[in-house]
């Protein structure tokens, strides 16, 4: 879904959109870097110096609530945000923390887990950990 379509849907639901909020949404849709709230803040601040971290957080919460955003939480570390809300897999670099998408057909486990556990399964999250190509290269150079 593009920014215009998301804006249209949210306006129909009565969500107010300022140019700052729109800039946050557009950044999330165009980047594949899974930025933290801080990174989003610095990016939007370049264009809108008056933007506050509070605006970033409440826009992220609003987008998440309406299903347009995925939050990847990592315990103590800052959450990362993904403008692609469809369930997909991620690879995390243990050295630099970079998060990449890995697209493949989702593993069909939900039904099995539901039957075995009695939980109502809404989805699952799977992550791969390793050293990214850039860090591997740097390691060899050192």
Which stretches of the chain bind Zn ion, using CB under 5 A? 82, 93, 95-96, 98, 101, 132, 135
- Closer by beta carbon to Zn ion, 42 or else 95: 95
The contacts of residue 10 (CB under 8 Å, 6+ apart) are: 17, 62, 66, 68
Kindly tell me which of 3 and 93 has the beta carbon lying closer to Zn ion.
93
26 vs 82, beta carbon nearer Zn ion: 82
* CB 128, min distance to Zn ion, A: 12
Q: Is the Cβ of residue 15 or residue 37 nearer to Zn ion in the bound state?
A: 37
Q: What is the 3-state secondary structure (H, E, C) of 11-48?
A: HHCCCCCCHHHHHHHHHHHHCCCCCEHHHHHHHHHHHC
Rounded to 10°, the helix 53-65/37-47 angle is 120
Distance of closest approach, residue 7 Cβ to Zn ion, in angstroms: 21
**CB of residue 84 to Zn ion, shortest distance in Å:** 5
In the complex, least distance from residue 49 CB atom to Zn ion, rounded to whole angstroms: 29
89 backbone dihedrals φ, ψ, rounded to 5°: -95, 155
d(CA 98, CA 113): 30
């Amino acid at each position: 879904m593009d920014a215009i379509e998301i804006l249209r849907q949210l306006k129909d639901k009565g969500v107010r959109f300022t140019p700052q909020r729109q800039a946050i949404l557009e950044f999330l849709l165009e980047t594949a870097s899974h930025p933290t709230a801080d990174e989003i803040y610095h990016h939007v601040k370049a264009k809108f110096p008056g933007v506050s971290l509070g605006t970033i957080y409440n826009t992220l919460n609003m987008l998440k609530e309406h299903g347009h955003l995925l939050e990847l939480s990592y315990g103590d570390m800052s959450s990362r945000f993904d403008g692609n809300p469809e369930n997909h897999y991620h690879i995390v670099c243990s050295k630099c923390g970079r998060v990449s998408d890995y697209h493949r057909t989702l593993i069909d486990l939900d039904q099995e887990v539901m039957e075995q556990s009695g939980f109502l399964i809404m989805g699952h999250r799977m992550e791969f950990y390793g050293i990214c190509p850039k860090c591997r290269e740097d390691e060899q150079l050192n």
